Structure 1
Amino acid sequence: MAACSVAVLLALEAWRAFGGSTSMIRPEDALPGRSAPMEVSEQHYVLKNPMRGPWPTGMQKFVFANGCFWGSEKGIWRLPYGIFSTAVGYAAGFTPNPSYEEVVTSRSGHAEAVQVIFDPLKIDLVDVLRWFWEAHDPTQHMGQGNDVGTQYRSGLYYFDEDQKELFLASRQAYQEALRAAGVASDA
């Protein structure tokens, strides 16, 4: 059996063992993790650009969570011209440098997340943000479709006050649209 298949089976066994919890773990109960970050390829396999900064002058960063990071990353690649690089990983958790197997237990506190490096002269953050809201159902609690667990929760992670204000305004606009459509939510 291939190593990848073994890792996936172990992750599934771990998920089943811990039930894909929809309750956030307390920081003091999180898994211990490790000090060394995961190794990352130098070049993006699909986009052929660097996987890590420093980024070319003018590039901006957007990090979000909206379910399974593999599907979310693939969706970003379909956006119009302007996406420079993407990377999947984990955000907003407690376990330092968690593995996939740890995250799927819901015992690290992380959400599956995607980092997008984009050129704002070619694609506006508003367009990437619109894609975020339309690409998932933020009214589902701790999950997306059949994917259930704290790692599948929605999240927007800002890097400056302008992003924070834009994210909050977009959340409010989306919330109002959901209410107008008769969907009760705290998106």
Structure 2
Amino acid sequence: MFFAKKSLELPTPETALAGRPQPLPTADVHFVNGHLLKGPYPEGFETAVFAMGCFWGEERKFWQVPGVYVTAVGYVAGATPNPTYEEVCSGRTGHTEAVLVVFDPKVVTYAQLLKTFWEGHDPTQGMRQGNDIGTQYRSGIYPVNEAQAQAAESSKLAYQQALAKEGYSKITTEIVPAETFFFAEDYHQQYLAKNPHGYCGVGGTGVTCPIGVGVQA
């Protein structure tokens, strides 16, 4: 990924790059399981959106979860429509690298996905994740409805307590409503399945998230 020094301040809508009206071309199907990346998805399935650093590594964490139907990487929570990877890495779009997760709630709950999210990275690092530095690497949860928003906030409080006991600082994860998910370019989709020895800068704290051990999200 990109390591060049860049601003750690988010651009305003006025200073963000202009972008483009048309979506970027991307893959039609998931490289690992062959499911349609953009749907239609099976009836009753739900979606979730997370950001936890380099999206190559975060996507792999989620496609390996039983009950997850399909995953895709993309860009969220920014001001530039249909940004390219290079534009996002410039820090001038405001987006973060994110993963879209489509899941069967009868097999895996949103709370369980939150547990995967919290334990899969260090959510206390602000505009970075390990050696990856920039606004596009910030931690975020992007709820698609009020139930997800409440679950996300509850899980954040629970994990903050667990982290504090181990000496970690305040969680910097943003929790804001999901807006448009801009699918990233084809070569980013399921990158670590196509390139098994490719770079992955995502790593957890080793602190267990208490969801599932007596704490409800």
Unpaired runs of at least 5, structure 1: 1-7
Residue matched to 2:148:
163
Show structure 1 runs of 4+ deviating over 2 A. none
Structure 1 stretch displaced more, 84-93 or 45-54: 45-54
Output the CA distance in 1 between the equivalents of 2:64 and 2:71.
12
Report how far residue 21 of structure 1 moved: 2.3
2:93 maps to 1:108:
yes
2:171 maps to 1:183:
no
Residue matched to 2:106:
121
Say which of 20, 24, 44 aligns to 1:34. Answer: 20
Identity of matched residues, %: 47
Residue matched to 2:62:
76
Say which of 48, 54, 58 aligns to 2:40. Answer: 54
Residue matched to 1:4:
none
- 1:66-97 superposed Cα distances (whole Å, 9 cap, x missing partner): 00001100111222x21111110000000110
Structure 1 stretch displaced more, 86-95 or 117-126: 117-126
Output the CA distance in 1 between the equivalents of 2:116 and 2:165.
20
Say which of 84, 93, 96 aligns to 2:78. Answer: 93
Report how far residue 20 of structure 1 moved: 3.0
Output the CA distance in 1 between the equivalents of 2:32 and 2:90.
29
Report how far residue 53 of structure 1 moved: 2.3
Q: Secondary structure at the match of 1:34?
A: coil
Report how far residue 104 of structure 1 moved: 0.2
Q: Secondary structure at the match of 1:165?
A: helix
- One-letter identity of the residue aligned with 1:20: K
Output the CA distance in 2 between the equivalents of 1:166 and 1:143.
24
Aligned 1:133-172 pairs, distance under 5 A: 133-172=118-157
Q: Secondary structure at the match of 2:14?
A: helix
Output the CA distance in 1 between the equivalents of 2:27 and 2:89.
23
What is the Cα-based RMSD across aligned positions, in Å? Answer: 1.4
| TM, length-normalised to structure 2 | 0.76
Output the CA distance in 1 between the equivalents of 2:27 and 2:171.
38
Unpaired runs of at least 5, structure 2: 173-217
Aligned length: 172
| TM, length-normalised to structure 1 | 0.88
Q: Secondary structure at the match of 1:28?
A: coil
Are the aligned partners of 1:143 and 1:150 in contact in 2 as well (CA < 8 Å)?
Answer: yes
- 1:130-167 superposed Cα distances (whole Å, 9 cap, x missing partner): 01000000110111111000000011001111001000
Residue matched to 2:204:
none
Report how far residue 118 of structure 1 moved: 0.5
- One-letter identity of the residue aligned with 2:125: Q
Output the CA distance in 2 between the equivalents of 1:145 and 1:183.
15
Report how far residue 122 of structure 1 moved: 1.1
Structure 1 stretch displaced more, 67-76 or 35-44: 35-44
Output the CA distance in 2 between the equivalents of 1:166 and 1:20.
33
Output the CA distance in 1 between the equivalents of 2:112 and 2:130.
24
Between Structure 1 and Structure 2, whose CA radius of gyration is higher?
1
